Amino acid sequence: MKKRILISNDDGIYAPGIQAMYEAVKDLGEVTVVAPAGEQSAVGHAITLSDPIKAKPISRPDGFRGYAVGGTPADCVKLAVCALLPKPPDLVLSGINLGPNTGISVIYSGTVSAATEGVILGIPSVAISLGSYQKPRWDVAARVARQIAQHVLRVGLPPDTLLNVNVPNLPAKQIRGYRTTLMGRSRFVEKFDRRTDPQGNVYYWMDGELELLGDEGETDIIAVREGFVSLTPIWFDLTHRAALPAVQAWKLKWRGR
């Protein structure tokens, strides 16, 4: 039976990374692309509740078909699965994203959030990002995407798990293989560039640099830096279990009465 694949991401439906993903997997099944109409990078898992969500059908001569959605990546996956597609897909692919989604970027990432939404809806989901913003080697990331899509369609993923894939921006021959990794502990150190517009109003432009926090072995950040394709299984159980005793030890008493 023909597999159904849903492609999304946060760079907008006309982004070259989405086109590369489409080309990479178009013969693996029935492919539909449902992605934001424009740039939605770093919107995280935002959803649209107080506005209508427009979905404009798109169909190109090369077979690329789907919907340009006036919403977030999470909106796209929800809308696709619950309203646009005749049946739920067998696989959600988010990407190929321009720029890495390693370390704490996972929290801000619209790319990862599209895949998270797929997992919430019970569908095996993979986020794929390319580790550079300059001179992207879409062909290499597309080969990775294809291999992983084929594998996940065959063997699935563990429950409640999305696979976060980060591909180094290197020629195929320089890629050293796959490495299973941990999400690196890191944070952004923000710089706010203070500027003035022609009317004299002050505005800020945010820019950040990723800072590594401690080393916890084989992280996604290090793997990409060392030339490996990083595979991180992610789940969103946000309870910090190790911190439970500390909070329990507060023994807070409610004095409402």
The reply on whether position 105 binds Mn ion by CB under 5 A is no
Here the tokens at position 142 are 């597309």
Site for Mn ion contains 11 (CB under 5 A): yes
State which of residues 97, 101, 102, 232 lies at the interface with Mn ion (CB under 5 A): 97
Q: Which stretch binds Mn ion (CB under 5 A): 4-12, 27-35, 172-180, 211-219?
A: 4-12
Three-class DSSP category at 8: strand
Q: Closest CB to Mn ion among 109 and 219?
A: 109
Q: Which of 8, 32, 41, 166 binds Mn ion (CB under 5 A)?
A: 41
Q: Is 186 in the site for Mn ion (CB under 5 A)?
A: no
Between residues 17 and 90, which has the closer beta carbon with respect to Mn ion? 17
**Is 115 within 8 Å of 153 (Cβ atoms)?**
no
Output 70 or 88, the one with its CB closest to Mn ion.
Answer: 70
| 210-214-217 Cα angle (round to 5) | 105
Pick 4 or 137: Cβ nearer Mn ion: 137
* Comparison of 19 and 97: residue with beta carbon closer to Mn ion: 97
Based on the shown chain and the rule CB under 5 A, indicate whether residue 10 belongs to the binding site for Mn ion: yes
To Mn ion, the closest distance from the beta carbon of 109 in angstroms equals 7
Q: Are 183 and 100 in contact (CB under 8 A)?
A: no
Q: Which long-range contacts (CB under 8 A, 24 or more apart) does 133-138 make?
A: 133/98, 133/99, 134/169, 135/169, 136/16, 136/17, 136/98, 136/169, 137/169, 137/170, 137/171, 138/16, 138/17, 138/20, 138/96
| 117 touching Mn ion, by CB under 5 A | no
Distance in angstroms (rounded) separating the CA atoms of residues 80 and 33: 9
| C-beta closer to Mn ion: residue 90 or 186 | 186
- As a whole number of angstroms, the distance between CA 234 and CA 118 comes to 13
Taking the mean position of all CA atoms in its chain, how far away is CA 137?
Answer: 18
User: What is the spatial distance between Cα 117 and Cα 78, in angstroms, rounded to a whole number?
Assistant: 7
* Sole window of 35-43, 165-173, 209-217, 238-246 interacting with Mn ion (rule: CB under 5 A): 35-43
Enumerate binding residues for Mn ion (CB under 5 A): 10-11, 41, 97
